Amino acid sequence: MTNLLFLVGSLRQGSLNQRLANVARAELPEGYQATGFDLGSLPLYNSDFDGENSPESVVAFRAALHAADGVFIFSPEYNYGIPGVVKNAIDWASRPMMPRHAMVGKPMNVIVSTMSPTNGIRALNDIKRTWAAVGGVPVNTFDFVLQSAQTRFVEVDGVETLDVPALNGLRMAINHLDRIINSGAPAVALANWDAFIASLK
């Protein structure tokens, strides 16, 4: 079984990104399962508490990341960039840095859902760039922003899903995450990280 960790970058009730995560869960191929983690349970990052003495929720978050074969982030764009909720989670996960933190070699894809008909790509790029900067493995072969997201959900047989073009985008995003999980990229990223850490000594 391939385990995905689903992270939602909006904490509000009725979040479009949470609704998209629900649709994505139903679209996962056979052999996949998803678990969620509430990013709202994490306190604001404080480097006084990023080692042995980390808060319980942070320890649980790092354990969930370690246990996952891949991560799927569903996030809004805030003020042309990465929402604080997502950045805060990445900052906690990036410590302790040595020998390997929980994102090293970890495949990740992100979809940004926005009410805007034009925006969203900046947050998507920020999240992928940051994930790569900490030694993770973002999907770099396919970008998908769900624009005008409030108009893209439909009901089929009483179950919420997406209109056809949006559903195709979601399926492609899942497919590219699956591909990178099953590629050699995670092993290369782990080896690169280990060489980087060794070079610091």
Contacts with ligand FMN by CB under 6 A lie at 10, 12, 15-17, 76-80, 113-116, 119-120
- Checking DSSP bridges between strand 137-138 and strand 70-75, what pairing results, if any? unpaired
Cβ proximity of 179 and 108 under 8 Å: no
Report the nearest approach of ligand FMN to the CB of residue 17 (Å).
3
Closest residue to ligand FMN, Cβ-based?
119
Cβ proximity to ligand FMN, 116 vs 175, nearer residue:
116
**What DSSP state is assigned to residue 51?**
S
Cβ proximity of 68 and 102 under 8 Å: no
d(CA 8, CA 72): 9
Report the nearest approach of ligand FMN to the CB of residue 119 (Å).
3
* β-sheet bridge partners, residue 2: 32
Report the nearest approach of ligand FMN to the CB of residue 45 (Å).
19
Cβ proximity to ligand FMN, 94 vs 147, nearer residue:
147
Cβ proximity to ligand FMN, 77 vs 91, nearer residue:
77
Report the nearest approach of ligand FMN to the CB of residue 12 (Å).
5
Cβ proximity to ligand FMN, 78 vs 142, nearer residue:
78
Read off the tokens for 75. 């996030």
Cβ proximity of 6 and 35 under 8 Å: yes
Cβ proximity of 65 and 106 under 8 Å: yes
Report the nearest approach of ligand FMN to the CB of residue 53 (Å).
32
Phi, psi of 13 (to 5 degrees): -60, 140
Cβ proximity to ligand FMN, 6 vs 193, nearer residue:
6
